[in-house]
Structure 1
Amino acid sequence: MIPMLLRFLAKAIAGFVGLTLVLVVLFKFVPVPITATMLMDGNGATRDWESLDNIDRNLVRAVVAAEDSRFCEHSGFDAEAIEQAWRENMEGGRIRGGSTISQQTAKNVFLWQGGGYVRKGIEAWFTFWIELIWGKRRIMEVYLNVAETGIGTYGAEAGAQRYFNHSAARLTPREAARMAAAFPSPKKRAVTNPGGWLARHGRRIERRIGIVRRDGLDACVYK
């Protein structure tokens, strides 16, 4: 009985690893057609895949500023950000995460939303492989095409068209900052005419776009 179970587990693990590598290699070259989040979105999924060449660099700088300032330095996991998030969560107050853009991309493409150690473990597995096989430029390109940017809206192009009535190829720093400010919770955060904390947060991101540009914190995306 036990040898049969072990053989079954070995085959299941081998199948999972093989499927993982096939999907990761495939999506290095092919646009991601749909994700679990899109499929489960009761509002539908408006999206329009665009090459990174057709997405304004202001948005790349804005998401680096807002989400992952060490994107070009880490290999998928930011230990410092994870430790800081853990300390702040232990102290109480608003729960925050320490996920990198790479981790968010792995989750958005291959997995589902929500927490849980099992999902986080599988997310780490996919994060390792996309860092190794895709590289930073492809990770950013996929992230900006599959991230939820509004109710039933996914990707930079669909978001730019929805909020600003023009292409993501020409976003001002303010427009890019407002989109990046809403990325973590686009169903609840207003991109146009934000107020209060969200407006202040958008202005902080807009200022940090200049820092990202000055310090070359997005340089790995454009090598």
Structure 2
Amino acid sequence: MVKIIFTLPLWTLHTNLLSESSRIVRDLLNKASDPYKILFVDLKEALCKDEEYSKYSSRLEDSISELLAAYPNMLEKFKIHIQSEIGAAYDLHQRCNYVKQHTDDLRFSAFIDRLDGLFSQEFNVENAISLALNKPTESWRDGDIKEARLIVSEWATKFKHIEAYAVADCRKPKRNVVAVVIGTGENANTRICEFDILEHDRLAAITVVKKFFNDCGHNGLSPKALLGAIAECGIDFAQGED
């Protein structure tokens, strides 16, 4: 049983994201030197403080199972986090190529390269985390995983910002494109609206909006708050949404 400890990833040997009983089992096994004593004395006393020794075997089995599953579960949760941050799997390859053409950030480009297989079984979560942290797997601790989640959220928001910009930048001649990214990370929603508009209609609309901004300014509303609300509601209105 002590051999199990030596097969566990180093992250599992240091994480606090385990049940109390599993942490106790891990730490006792890690320090064990006498196989008989660890199995029939130390672990038994630690897991059966209520003196329900008949439950010892099942409790030990549950803790060992949790230790073995901890690292794979952490990686799977992180993968789901990246998926939710980036959004739909549809046309992800094309989206990645699109965004990569508009950035010179080498680490961000490397992240985009790894996104290509995000929704497949072959996606390497460890590579993505190591890239975010600039650390090998052997150095990971709980705080590192939290930091990696934040970095991935920032990259996902940047991905959507560039995606929105790229669409607007590649617009057809004499057509207007409004591209807005609302929120950050997982909640970042890219809204894009493309339309034709006559020049005299555009100038007339600007006059109306300027008056609207002036009226709202007297109500204590900040220009940034107004701009965000107008962008979001404007796209809804242009697309015929409620």
Is TM > 0.5 for Structure 1 vs Structure 2? no
Select the structure that is richer in helix. 2
Which structure has the bigger radius of gyration? 2
More relative contact order in 1 or in 2 (CA 8 Å, sep 6+)?
Answer: 1
TM-score (norm 1): 0.24
TM-score (norm 2): 0.23
